[in-house]
A = this chain, B = another copy of it.
Amino acid sequence: MAANTTAYKVGIADTTFATVNMAEFVIDTIKESGESVKIERYTVPGIKDLPVACKRLIEYYNCDIVIALGMPGPKEIDKQCAHEASTGIQKTQLLTNKHILEIFVHADEAVKKKELYEIAKDRAIKHTHNAVQMLRSKEALTKYAGTGRRQGKPDEGPLRM
């Protein structure tokens, strides 16, 4: 495995607005993977502060990929903020040529707190696995192409007729 000989750097950008400390799931998953991956963390107030934090992680801290963690609120204005943050994250990827995996958990994805927590955990863990795969090769995930994989809930699987 390339990642065992070459140490990649994964950036984690997260917020004080979120109500779940998702970065812990990311850090634990990376450690459990056994990969020699270095981690840089950057915490900002809200999701709209994430794009430039991601850009700084890439440009000033040499991260090879960034995981951006956020939990947008339930109101209309929160959805607009999430859209602005996502647009900024898109732009950052194109300016740096690096992937930024956006792990946003929306407050209205679940009614119960427990369920929201589980979504956040599942999504963070699965996308961390994705990030590690993507560092290896552009075709590392090709075996799963079109198979209906989901993060935050069970896989949907490929469309069968």
Binding site for B on A (CB under 8 A): 14-24, 40-45, 48-49, 51-53, 55-57, 59-60, 77, 79-88, 90-95, 97-102, 106, 113-114, 116-117, 127, 130, 134, 138-142, 144-151, 156-161
Contacts and interface: CB of A to CB of B under 8 A. Distances in A.
Contact of A159 (B52, B113, B159, B161): B113
Nearest to A114: B161
A52 B102 contact: no
Nearest to A150: B17
Contact of A52 (B84, B94, B158): B94
B21 A158 contact: yes
A16 B90 contact: no
A130 B159 CA distance: 26
Contacts of A116: 159
Contacts of A19: 146-148, 156-159
B16 A159 contact: no
Contacts of A156: 19
Contacts of A45: 101, 127, 130, 141, 149, 151
B151 A94 contact: no
A56 B21 CA distance: 32
Contacts of A101: 45, 49
12 contacts: A18-B146, A19-B146, A19-B147, A19-B156, A21-B158, A53-B138, A77-B106, A80-B82, A84-B90, A85-B90, A88-B94, A113-B161
